[in-house]
C-alpha cells in the first residue's frame, strides 16, 4: 500500500483540495514538515472517511494501521482505499488477497471491467488451430475463429444463452448431450456467481430473469448449485454442428488479466468413435 501511495499525485487532486478545506485545513505545502507530492496518511484518512464516522474519529491514524498491516478493515473501507490510491483491478485483487488471506474475490473497482477485451486476444484466437473464442463478463462472444464457427454452427452471440438453450439459441439443445449434468448445472452456477460479482449488469440480470421464469431452468436455478468455478479441463459430449457427429469436447480456459470476469476458451473436439473410453466427468474445483 505504501508503494501505491507513493505513486499518487496529491497536488493535482481537486477533490483533496476540497476535502482539506471542508475540514478547516489550508492548502498543501503550507506549514512545517517534509514536502511530498503523494498523499500523506492523514490525507488518505480524509479520502476514506465515511459519513457514518464520528466527527472526532482519527481516520488518518486508522489508515496508518491498515497500511502497516496491523488492522484489516471491512470491504467498504478497503475499497475506498483502493479507489483513493487509484489502483487497477490487478492491484485491487492483490490488496484484497493480502488483507483477507485470499478468501473469495472482490467485485471490480470499475463498472465496465470485463466488457472490453484487448485486441491482442483477437490475434491469439484466430491463430489457434483449435476452436477458440473469447467472451466478456456477461458471455457475449467478442472474438472467435473459423474452427469455433464450424463446431458451434454459426457462433452464438451469447454463450450463456447457448449453453442454457435460451432464445434465440434453442438449437443448442440438440447439440449438448447429458445437458442437465454437464451443461445446464455448471452454466447456472456460473451465472449465479457472475451476478453476485456484477449485480448491476443489465445483460446478466436479463439472463437471470429469463432463467427464473423458465419452467425447466427456474427450479434448477433456485435449487442447489454446485460450487462450479471454471470450465478448465472439462469433458463434455457435444454434437459437431456442421458434421452432425457426436464427439467429446475438452476445454482449456484462461482469463485476460486486464478484463476481470472475461474468459478465453480453447476447445479440442474428438469424434466419440475415436475415443477408446469416455473420460470420467470432471468434479467441480
The better pLDDT of the pair 59, 17 is held by 59
Specify the pLDDT at position 231.
78
Could you tell me the pLDDT band of residue 163, with boundaries at 50, 70 and 90? very high
Secondary-structure percent of the chain, ordered helix, strand, coil, rounded to 5: 40, 15, 45
Given pLDDT bands bounded at 50, 70 and 90, which one contains residue 30? Answer: low
Determine the Cα–Cα distance for residues 270 and 276; give it in Å rounded to an integer.
11
User: What is the share, in percent, of the chain residues with pLDDT greater than 70?
Assistant: 92
In CATH, what is the architecture of 2-100?
Orthogonal Bundle (1.10)
Q: Which comes out higher in pLDDT, residue 280 or 163?
A: 163
The predicted pLDDT at position 127 comes to 97
pLDDT for the residue 209:
97
Burial 43-57 (b: 16+ CB within 10 A, else e): bbbbbbbeeeeeeee
Q: What is the pTM of this model?
A: 0.67
What's the average model confidence in pLDDT over 172-177?
96
Angle at 252 between CA 246 and CA 256, to 5 degrees: 135
Model confidence pLDDT, tens digit, residues 44-81 = 888 888 888 888 888 889 989 999 999 999 988 998 99
Going by pLDDT thresholds of 50, 70 and 90, the confidence category of residue 285 is very low
Q: Is the pLDDT of residue 165 over 50?
A: yes
Beta strand ranges found along 51-90 (DSSP E): none
In this predicted structure, the answer to whether residue 84 has a pLDDT above a threshold of 60 is yes
For the chain, domain boundaries: 2-100, 120-274
**244: burial class by Cβ within 10 Å (0-12, 13-18, 19+)?**
exposed
pLDDT in tens, 240-253: 999 999 999 999 99
pLDDT for 276 beyond 80? no
66 φψ region: left (φ > 0), alpha (ψ -120 to 50), beta (else): alpha
Task: For domain 120-274, give the fold.
Answer: Beta-Lactamase (3.30.450)
Terminal-to-terminal C-alpha distance of the chain:
31
Per the prediction, the chain carries an average pLDDT of: 87
The answer to whether the CB of 239 falls within 8 A of the CB of 117 is no
| pLDDT for residue 232 | 81
> Once rounded to an integer, what is the mean pLDDT over residues 188-202?
88
In this predicted structure, what is the pLDDT of residue 284?
43
For residue range 101-149, list pLDDT tens digits in order: 866 677 777 777 788 899 999 999 999 999 999 999 999 999 999 999 9
Q: In the structure, what pLDDT confidence band is assigned to residue 24 with cuts at 50, 70 and 90? A: confident
pLDDT band at 34 (very low <50, low <70, confident <90, very high): low
127 φ/ψ sector (left φ>0, alpha ψ -120 to 50, else beta) = alpha
Quickly state the pLDDT bin for 177 (edges 50, 70, 90).
Answer: very high
Q: Which long-range contacts (CB under 8 A, 24 or more apart) does 64-69 make?
A: 66/1, 67/1, 67/2, 67/5, 67/41
Amino acid at each position: 500500500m505504501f508503494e501505491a501511495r507513493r505513486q499518487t499525485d496529491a497536488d493535482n487532486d481537486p477533490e483533496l483540495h476540497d476535502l482539506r478545506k471542508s475540514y478547516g485545513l489550508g492548502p498543501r505545502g503550507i506549514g512545517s514538515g517534509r514536502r511530498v507530492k503523494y498523499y500523506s496518511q492523514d490525507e488518505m484518512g480524509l479520502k476514506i472517511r465515511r459519513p457514518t464516522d464520528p466527527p472526532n474519529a482519527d481516520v488518518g491514524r486508522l489508515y496508518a494501521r491498515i497500511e502497516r498491516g496491523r488492522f484489516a478493515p471491512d470491504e467498504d473501507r478497503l475499497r475506498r482505499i483502493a479507489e483513493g490510491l487509484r489502483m487497477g483491478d490487478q492491484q485491487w485483487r492483490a490488496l484484497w488477497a493480502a488483507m483477507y488471506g485470499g478468501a473469495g474475490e472482490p467485485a471490480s473497482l470499475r463498472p465496465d471491467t470485463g466488457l472490453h477485451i484487448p485486441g491482442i486476444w483477437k490475434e491469439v484466437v484466430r491463430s489457434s488451430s483449435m476452436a477458440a473464442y473469447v467472451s466478456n463478463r456477461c458471455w457475449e462472444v467478442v472474438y472467435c475463429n473459423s474452427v469455433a464457427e464450424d463446431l458451434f454452427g454459426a457462433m452464438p452471440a451469447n454463450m450463456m444463452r447457448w449453453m442454457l438453450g435460451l432464445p434465440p439459441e434453442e438449437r443448442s439443445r440438440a447439440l449438448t448431450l447429458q445437458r442437465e449434468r454437464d451443461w445446464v448445472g455448471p452454466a447456472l452456477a456460473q451465472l449465479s456467481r457472475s451476478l453476485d460479482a456484477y449485480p448491476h449488469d443489465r445483460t446478466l440480470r436479463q439472463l437471470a430473469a429469463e432463467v427464473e421464469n423458465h419452467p425447466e431452468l427456474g427450479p434448477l436455478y433456485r435449487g442447489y448449485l454446485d460450487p462450479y468455478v471454471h470450465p478448465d479441463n472439462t469433458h463434455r459430449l457435444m454434437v459437431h454442428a456442421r458434421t452432425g457427429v457426436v464427439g467429446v469436447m475438452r476445454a482449456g480456459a484462461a482469463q485476460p488479466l486486464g478484463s476481470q470476469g472475461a474468459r478465453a476458451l480453447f476447445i479440442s473436439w474428438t469424434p466419440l468413435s475415436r475415443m477408446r473410453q469416455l473420460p470420467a466427468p470432471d468434479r467441480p474445483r
